[in-house]
Structure 1
Amino acid sequence: MEETLVYRSKIKSLLLLIGSIGFVLVCLWVLSFLFTEEELPRKGAFATIVAPFGIVFFGYCAIIAFRHVLNNRPFFILNSAGLLDQGTRKSELFIPWSEVNEIILSKLRGNKIIIVEVKDPHKLNQSASSFDKFLSSANSMVGYDHPVFSANATTLSNQELYDLFNKYFDAYKQQNRETDTQPK
């Protein structure tokens, strides 16, 4: 089976960049009231605490979005060996089809997610960065031990990505059945 590349949506990344810059500008505008004579209701607490955090947070989001706009690497690479995730984590995650038990399309608070149920979820995190391990442990605390994906940042819908994952996983299972039934 041919390799399939799934790319990040440039339009969604650009919208995230524009939105982030907009929020940074709003936070700067709110912060500017500290240095003027104009009154802003409860200006002290809001302007001195929330606005700087907003500038830092949305500034960071803008930097990440800008990097995503310039990034031409595939988000996911699917082939007969497995699934390579280059978009949802700081470090790459390769999931061999031999480690996959099931692929599930589920909903989490109204958002569709794809759960790749693997034989040993902790084995996948051995080569992950410490930040990725932290995020995986946070997922485990809310009941998701297995890798969870969403197509929200890609050019595909969640249903299309789920179908694509299953197409490759089914091809792997079919190939293994044929290999197992061949006389030796």
Structure 2
Amino acid sequence: MKEIVIRRSFKKQLNLTFMATLMVLLSFFVFLMAPEIAHSNTFISLIMAVGFVGVIFFSICLIYIIYGLLKSKDILKIDKNGFLEKSSFISGSYILWADVKSIVGYTSMGQKYIGVELKDSEKFLKSLPIIKRVLLKLNLKLGYPTILINLNSSKVDYSETLSSMAKFFDMWKLKDK
């Protein structure tokens, strides 16, 4: 089979940029308006904290989205030896089919993902930088697969991509026997 390359959709990425900007502004508004919204000091502090955390979180998201908009266009490359997944901040590693245990469709909070379980997750985690390792361990504790491939910022069909990955993996398993 020929290598498959899935790219980001510029239009979808631009839409995400707009939404993240809106969330930063909304969080900043909540932070500034806390004294007007709440009438006790406890609630003012709580609302300001929520606004502050929102500004920080959504600003980080916005920076990552803009970086993705300007830099990396490919979010998934699939070939006969494995795949390179770059759909999120905690991804970016080339995974060999030999290291894959299973590939499954996965849905969480209305979002569809391609879930990849590895034969040795610990070995994979040790090869990652500390921040990615910590974030992936949090995902694992929440019951998610080792690798979640998010195709929401692409134009491709989720089912078609899942099927293609499964075919590549099945071909590798047959070749390996």
TM-score (norm 1): 0.78
How many residues are paired up? 173
Structure 1 CA distance for aligned equivalents of residues 130 and 147 of structure 2? 16
Q: State the structure with more CA Rg.
A: 1
- Tell me the equivalent position of 1:70: 70
> Cα offset for 1:47?
5.7
- Tell me the equivalent position of 1:80: 80
Identity across aligned pairs (percent)?
25
Distance change in 2, residues 1:59/1:119 (3 Å): closer
Structure 2 CA distance for aligned equivalents of residues 113 and 40 of structure 1? 41
Structure 2 CA distance for aligned equivalents of residues 19 and 139 of structure 1? 24
Report SS of the residue matched to 2:83: strand
Report SS of the residue matched to 1:21: helix
Contact 1:136 1:145 in 2 (8 A): no
> Cα offset for 1:160?
2.1
Structure 1 CA distance for aligned equivalents of residues 28 and 149 of structure 2? 34
> Cα offset for 1:17?
1.0
- Tell me the equivalent position of 1:41: 37
> Cα offset for 1:31?
4.4
Structure 1 CA distance for aligned equivalents of residues 134 and 70 of structure 2? 27
> Cα offset for 1:141?
1.4
Structure 2 CA distance for aligned equivalents of residues 141 and 31 of structure 1? 31
The CA deviation string for residues 44-99 of structure 1, in whole angstroms up to 9 with x for no partner, is 33663333332222222221111111124411111111011123244522211122
* Unmatched runs of 5 consecutive residues or more in structure 2: none
Q: What CA RMSD, in Å, does the superposition of the two structures yield over aligned residues?
A: 2.5
Structure 2 CA distance for aligned equivalents of residues 5 and 72 of structure 1? 12
- Tell me the equivalent position of 1:148: 148
Structure 2 CA distance for aligned equivalents of residues 20 and 140 of structure 1? 26
- Tell me the equivalent position of 2:98: 98
Moved more, 107-116 or 57-66: 107-116
